[in-house]
Amino acid sequence: PQTVYLNDYQAPEYLVDRTELTFDLDPQSTLVKSHLKIRRNPVAADSGGRSLPPLWLDGVDLELLSIAEDGELLPAQRYQEEPGGLSLTVTKPEFELEIQTRIAPESNTSLEGLYLSNGMYCTQCEAEGFRKITFYPDRPDVMSVFTTTIVAPAKYPVLLSNGNKVDSGTTDDGRLRVTWEDPFAKPSYLFALVAGDLQYVEDSFTTSTGRAVTLQLFTEARNIGKCEHAMVSLKHAMRWDEVVYGREYDLDIFMIVAVDHFNMGAMENKGLNIFNSACVLASPETATDAAFQRIESIVAHEYFHNWSGNRVTCRDWFQLSLKEGFTVFRDAEFSADMNSRAVKRIEDVTLLRTAQFAEDAGPMSHPVRPDSYMEISNFYTLTIYEKGAEIVRMIHTILGADAFRRGSDLYFQRHDGCAVTCEDFVVAMEDANGADLKQFRRWYSQAGTPIIEVEDEYDAERAQYSLTLRQRTPATPGQEEKLPLHIPVAIGLLGADGKALVLDKFGSTDTVLHLTEESQTFTFQDIDERPLPSLLRGFSAPVKLRYGYTGEQLQFLMQHDADAFNRWDACQRLALNTLSSLQGQYRAGETLDTPSALIDGFSVLLQNSELDPALVAKMLALPSAQELAEQGDEIDAAAIVAARDFARQSIAVALKPLFLARYQALDQRKPYRPTADDIARRGLKNTCLAYLCMTQDQDALALARTQFERDENMTDVSAALAAMVEYGPKDAAEQTLESFYRQWQQDTQVVETWFGLQSSSAGFGTLDRVRELMAHPAFEMKNPNKVRAVVGGFAMRNFNQFHHEDGSGYEFLADQVIALDKLNPQIASRLVTPLTRWKKYRKHEAGQIHSALKRISDSGELSADLYEMVSKSLA
């Protein structure tokens, strides 16, 4: 595969003003006719009086049937089929092309382009899937007005594409025909088509200017009862975008379709979003609270793309974070407004620290605006999405909410209908406010997680307190030297009584320090006592902040910090310190110390019924094994597992009566509602249940069984089942799993939960079990959700079994990756991630993982996706 470089970007030679497509659908022989109105791009590089440059049309896995220019069939010498596309000799600056191709959706297991899912046709075109449908300049800076006609047998009564339905009828031979027209020019990656025997629910939304928009959610008949939550979420998102960003929806209809076979969460195709069923369908009986919240945020995310992505799109794929980082920031703020702000922030920061920090410290580390890639599908990463969102959040923090809104208004107004860059976004933020983000821009081009070391000094005589901050960013592949970044560090100071100290003459009790140098000292006057600093409040920048807090200081912050996020963070720091000493003791062969500081802290938390239960649940959850792996210098999997197990067990035993009391108080039997309060209550209740069951006491396991048998909602049922599977006797667990499966075998989403719960179980999810699950009739290697549940659950969420000392977990993963690469390169490439971090493990495991990777590399011809991951990891 070839490497593509940002620096090589050139504007397209030709533009496509209109695209008319006709699909004649058939599983093995779909005919695609395209009619393109093409003209020379006035801003393209001047060909210097020479003849017109050739027109390049991307095309992959297509059978070219015919090609005509302005109504005349093109002679063979006018075009050349090459790997990846078609090159045409051009003789005039404006012309029309008619191209006929044939494709076979049924054989398309990559789930990119046009494919079949449970007999329904659907598409996925981002980033470069449209070239698997027809020959086309498949790049986001070519924007065109699309008209799409779909012809299909009568067994596909629902025929959908982007925009508004403008015509429908039947053909002479009795097939159905529908034509859609999308008035907004768009890049090919936003094209979508769906054809199937689908049901739908309908609702409507009146926009801020009084226009009525029809909302439709399509699914297979069996799922029609699972649409309400997504519909409610959609309406909330539409209103929120009007109020917070002044963005109104622009078509008369907005459609969502649920499909079972999908490579990621969802796709923001103009007016026709396509969703992975797991990210849109929910009912209280079948979906957990986490699923309800995920659906709310993904529905909003895809909807928000209508402005941040579709109306204003990306010039090239190096700018991907322009739409993804901004849209993740938008959806995070939406979720924060709909639910608990602190808890949403905690969840996002946990993901960032666990997975994005690991990515940024590994062989695939790349800037938020990458300089190069081999396969763009590999760059839909936590860095582009989550770190990209943190960059937008920092701009928000630096400028303030009102200025940020002025910047986003200018951005949308200035670039509506255009394909632009991250630079354009920053310039709009600057221009709207007369701000200077010159140094700040480095966040887009510099990879790696910055580390900030903090020291403080108190001068009692002068009543002065000073904080000295030093920043550095570790080297990453291809970037040895790093420059200082502009880092906003939000802080506050606490007095001995826990009260917030006043920091300036305006009486503020929190402030943002602008760290721009390698080292900088910030001094506060009139500070009458030595304060305790609360640093990086709300995680104001995606950095690792180090300050030598004592255990007592952390316990103090846990109770008194005015910033809820930092109360949680103090608890995390305490847990991380404890777990890190336990790991040291384990490695030295010493007996492990009882984690008394944690036990004391948790005891206080459990007895405080004033605190938000959701926050308490987050505080009681110890950092995951994956997060501990990221935090340490060298990963010793056995030590991580031993330390975590010991700490959890000690806490469970010491605080059993408190967990029980809290469990009972929270176990209110009321009808399920996915509200923030109820979700918080169930979350803490089930955290208590898990700790109780860890003791393996009969009475605790009986509580779990009762909760399971009450069968009230999937949140409570799956939490009880997980506790029984993890901590209960094996025979009973087997039986319970079996009966659960019998009850739910017809429900795809529940079966996915059932798979995932077993494969990720530390005790139950052995490699043998995982192999059994793969042989189960409900498992499907061609369905990414099933693969993610079983193989992903084991390799990414079962630290204990995956890192079995004999290396069998690594070899197993290598086998699956090799097999999957033949079916679906994107999924294979995602799944190989745990192996790419081999250098961070102890010598023994590193050797085992390296040889598994090497075996993949030597297994034959790899897809570009997998090749890039494996070759960069072995380099």
DSSP annotation of 93 reads: S
Of 347 and 386, which CB lies nearer to Zn ion in the complex structure?
A: 386
CA gap 813, 796 in Å, rounded: 10
CA gap 234, 279 in Å, rounded: 13
Of 441 and 830, which CB lies nearer to ligand B3K in the complex structure?
A: 830
- Candidates 150, 194, 267, 355: give the one binding ligand B3K (CB under 6 A): 267
Tell the smallest beta-carbon distance from residue 586 to ligand B3K (Å): 41
Non-local (6+) Cβ contacts of 831 within 8 A are: 787, 791, 792, 795, 813, 816, 817, 820
Tell the smallest beta-carbon distance from residue 263 to ligand B3K (Å): 6
| Residue 126 binds which entry of ligand B3K, Zn ion, none, CB below 5-8 Å type-dependent | ligand B3K
| Residue 230 binds which entry of ligand B3K, Zn ion, none, CB below 5-8 Å type-dependent | none
Whether the CB-CB separation of 561 and 494 falls below 8 Å is answered with yes
Residues 374-393 that bind ligand B3K (CB under 6 A): 377, 380
Tell the smallest beta-carbon distance from residue 380 to ligand B3K (Å): 5
Residues 315-344 that bind Zn ion (CB under 5 A): 324, 327
Q: Is 128 a binder of ligand B3K (CB under 6 A)?
A: no
Long-range contacts of 774-782, Cβ-Cβ distance < 8 Å, separation of 24 or more: 778/745, 778/751, 779/755, 781/819, 781/820, 781/823, 782/109, 782/261, 782/823, 782/824
Non-local (6+) Cβ contacts of 179 within 8 A are: 147, 148, 149, 150, 165, 166, 167, 168
Tell the smallest beta-carbon distance from residue 308 to Zn ion (Å): 9
Which span (166-174, 266-274, 345-353, 612-620) binds ligand B3K, by CB under 6 A? 266-274
Say how many Å lie between the first and final Cα of the chain, rounded: 16
Tell the smallest beta-carbon distance from residue 328 to Zn ion (Å): 7
Non-local (6+) Cβ contacts of 285 within 8 A are: 713, 714
CA gap 112, 105 in Å, rounded: 10
| Residue 554 binds which entry of Zn ion, ligand B3K, none, CB below 5-8 Å type-dependent | none
CA gap 250, 311 in Å, rounded: 10
Does 127 sit behind a cis peptide bond, omega within 30 degrees of 0 on the bond before it? yes
Tell the smallest beta-carbon distance from residue 379 to ligand B3K (Å): 9
CA-based nearest residue to 870, from 820, 822, 834, 846: 834
| Residue 369 binds which entry of ligand B3K, Zn ion, none, CB below 5-8 Å type-dependent | none
Which span (53-61, 263-271, 335-343, 724-732) binds ligand B3K, by CB under 6 A? 263-271
Which span (261-269, 286-294, 367-375, 510-518) binds ligand B3K, by CB under 6 A? 261-269
| Residue 545 binds which entry of ligand B3K, Zn ion, none, CB below 5-8 Å type-dependent | none
Q: Is 131 a binder of ligand B3K (CB under 6 A)?
A: no
Which span (260-268, 481-489, 646-654, 754-762) binds ligand B3K, by CB under 6 A? 260-268
Report the SS3 class of residue 28.
coil
Q: How many residues bind ligand B3K (CB under 6 A)?
A: 12
Pairing type for strands 164-170 and 199-206 reads unpaired
- Candidates 24, 268, 456, 868: give the one binding ligand B3K (CB under 6 A): 268
Q: Is 868 a binder of ligand B3K (CB under 6 A)?
A: no
Of 126 and 289, which CB lies nearer to Zn ion in the complex structure?
A: 126
The phi, psi pair for 518, rounded to 5°, reads -65, -40
302 is catalytic: yes
- Environment class of 506 (CB within 10 Å of its CB; exposed 0-12, middle 13-18, buried 19+): exposed
Q: Is 264 a binder of ligand B3K (CB under 6 A)?
A: yes
Non-local (6+) Cβ contacts of 401 within 8 A are: none
Q: Is 126 a binder of ligand B3K (CB under 6 A)?
A: yes
Of 301 and 567, which CB lies nearer to ligand B3K in the complex structure?
A: 301
Non-local (6+) Cβ contacts of 248 within 8 A are: 207, 208, 209, 211, 241, 242
Tell the smallest beta-carbon distance from residue 320 to ligand B3K (Å): 8
Considering the candidates 302, 386, 726, 845, report the single residue annotated as catalytic: 302
Tell the smallest beta-carbon distance from residue 298 to ligand B3K (Å): 8
Tell the smallest beta-carbon distance from residue 748 to ligand B3K (Å): 21
The phi, psi pair for 780, rounded to 5°, reads -145, 115
Q: How many residues bind Zn ion (CB under 5 A)?
A: 2
Tell the smallest beta-carbon distance from residue 357 to ligand B3K (Å): 21
| Residue 380 binds which entry of ligand B3K, Zn ion, none, CB below 5-8 Å type-dependent | ligand B3K
Of 190 and 703, which CB lies nearer to Zn ion in the complex structure?
A: 190
Whether the CB-CB separation of 751 and 740 falls below 8 Å is answered with no
CA-based nearest residue to 574, from 559, 590, 589, 563: 559
| Residue 156 binds which entry of Zn ion, ligand B3K, none, CB below 5-8 Å type-dependent | none
Residues 289-348 that bind ligand B3K (CB under 6 A): 301-302, 305, 324
Non-local (6+) Cβ contacts of 869 within 8 A are: 364, 378, 829, 832, 833, 836
Q: Which residue has the tokens 């045409």?
A: 88
Residue nearest to ligand B3K (CB): 126
| Residue 377 binds which entry of Zn ion, ligand B3K, none, CB below 5-8 Å type-dependent | ligand B3K
Of 260 and 561, which CB lies nearer to ligand B3K in the complex structure?
A: 260
Of 127 and 640, which CB lies nearer to ligand B3K in the complex structure?
A: 127
Of 324 and 347, which CB lies nearer to ligand B3K in the complex structure?
A: 324
Of 190 and 704, which CB lies nearer to Zn ion in the complex structure?
A: 190
Measured at the alpha carbon of residue 590, what is the angle toward residues 588 and 592, in degrees to the nearest 5?
A: 120
Tell the smallest beta-carbon distance from residue 4 to ligand B3K (Å): 16
Tell the smallest beta-carbon distance from residue 404 to Zn ion (Å): 20
**Residue 169 has which token pair?**
């009828």
CA gap 24, 131 in Å, rounded: 17
Of 129 and 484, which CB lies nearer to ligand B3K in the complex structure?
A: 129
- Environment class of 249 (CB within 10 Å of its CB; exposed 0-12, middle 13-18, buried 19+): buried
CA-based nearest residue to 391, from 364, 351, 337, 429: 429
Whether the CB-CB separation of 18 and 95 falls below 8 Å is answered with no
Of 264 and 813, which CB lies nearer to ligand B3K in the complex structure?
A: 264
CA-based nearest residue to 656, from 624, 690, 622, 684: 690
Query: Which residues pair with residue 7 across a beta bridge?
Result: none
Q: Is 127 a binder of ligand B3K (CB under 6 A)?
A: yes
The phi, psi pair for 716, rounded to 5°, reads -70, -35
Of 380 and 465, which CB lies nearer to ligand B3K in the complex structure?
A: 380
Whether the CB-CB separation of 755 and 779 falls below 8 Å is answered with yes
Of 156 and 262, which CB lies nearer to Zn ion in the complex structure?
A: 262
| Residue 764 binds which entry of ligand B3K, Zn ion, none, CB below 5-8 Å type-dependent | none
Interhelix angle 698-710/676-694, rounded to 10 degrees, is: 140
For 735-753, give one letter per residue: b (16+ CB within 10 A) or e. ebbeebeeebeebbbbbbb
Angular region, 191: left φ>0, alpha ψ -120 to 50, beta rest: beta
Tell the smallest beta-carbon distance from residue 350 to Zn ion (Å): 20
> Which residues of the chain form contacts with ligand B3K (CB under 6 A)?
126-127, 264, 266-268, 301-302, 305, 324, 377, 380
> Which residues of the chain form contacts with Zn ion (CB under 5 A)?
324, 327
Active site residues: 302
